[in-house]
Structure 1
Amino acid sequence: MSRLDSMLRRLNAQRDGLNWAAAQVAGQPGDALDIGLGNGRTYDHLREIMPGRRVLVIDRALQCHPSCVPPEADFLQGEAEAMLTRLKGANLRLVHYDLGFGVETKDVAEAARLSPLIKAAMTPGGIAVSGQPLVGFTQLAGPEGIPEGRYNFYRRED
């Protein structure tokens, strides 16, 4: 499979997974968090599919498309560990995790290291959508049509 085809499969899985997760938490109180703003595509999509909810963002730097700049109060600039620590006990109903170094072993280790902090910021029953495996959550099947391992879906149970 070409890298372009692989990227398209990943983006489709991400979009379909976020749409599915937003539907799972519809009508339940809580905010959303996008960990890894990048150019802002996912943040923009979360704003669209979760109207009326606050969408917080964590990233080291604000380098997104001008149409995707979050309100100052919703942009937590800095290292993920420090920003997630600040969010402990927040009422996060949906979290999207999209950090990576581009090296699978490092990416998996970083997601595992940050998992307890992500969980601590989420409300029980919240959904996490992640390109990397997370630990300490109940894994969910997610929406139909997404190949196993392409994207990961979790619920915080406790």
Structure 2
Amino acid sequence: MSRLDSMLRRLTAQRDGLNWAAAQINDTDGDVLDMGLGNGRTYDHLRETLPSRRIWVMDRVLQCHPDSTPPARDFLQGEAEPMLQKLAEAGRMIALAHYDFGRGIKSEDIAEAARLSPLIEQVMHPGGLLISGQPLVGFKQIKGPDTIAPDRYLFYRA
């Protein structure tokens, strides 16, 4: 599979997964958390899909497209550990989290996801959903939409 085809497959899975998860959390209280802002495409999609939810965004640096910049009060800039601790200390309960951290080095990305999983668990609303391109630990893995190959995106319930 070409890198272009792989990217299209990943983006389609991400969009389909987010739409599926957004529909699943209708009866769940809590905010949304986008871990890994990047260019801001996912954040932009989440704010359009879930306009009544507060959407927290975290990343090391703010370098997204100007049209996809979150409000300063919702952007947590820095390393993930202190940002997740800040959310936990504030008592934030997340109904839907999207995990998109990574540098593209699979072994390092998997290790980071495993290391951050307990901190993510602290901010999740019981029964909340997590969507991730990396395996997370300590959550119940569930089946996502049929349109997504099981190895492309992972779905969890807190």
TM over 0.5: yes
- Which of 98, 101, 105 is residue 100 of structure 2 equivalent to? 98
The runs of 5 or more residues in structure 1 that have no matched partner are none
> Percent of aligned positions with the same letter in both sequences?
66
The runs of 5 or more residues in structure 2 that have no matched partner are none
Paired position in structure 1 for 2:55:
55
List structure 1 runs of 4+ shifted beyond 6 angstroms: none
Aligned residue type for 2:47: R
**Matched positions, count:** 156
**Does 1:16 pair with 2:7?**
no
Paired position in structure 1 for 2:133:
131
Aligned residue type for 1:52: S
**Does 1:73 pair with 2:69?**
no
Paired position in structure 2 for 1:37:
37
Give the CA RMSD over aligned residues.
0.7
Paired position in structure 1 for 2:111:
109
Could you list the per-position Cα deviations for residues 51-96 of structure 1 after superposition, in whole angstroms to 9, with x for gaps in the alignment? 1110000001110000111111000000011101111141110000
Q: Secondary structure at the match of 1:87?
A: helix
Aligned residue type for 1:120: Q
1:27 is displaced (CA, Å) by 3.3
Preserved CA contact (<8 Å) 2:142 2:155: yes
1:28 is displaced (CA, Å) by 2.2
Partners of 1:11 and 1:150 in 2: how far apart?
Answer: 10
Partners of 1:139 and 1:47 in 2: how far apart?
Answer: 25
Paired position in structure 1 for 2:82:
82
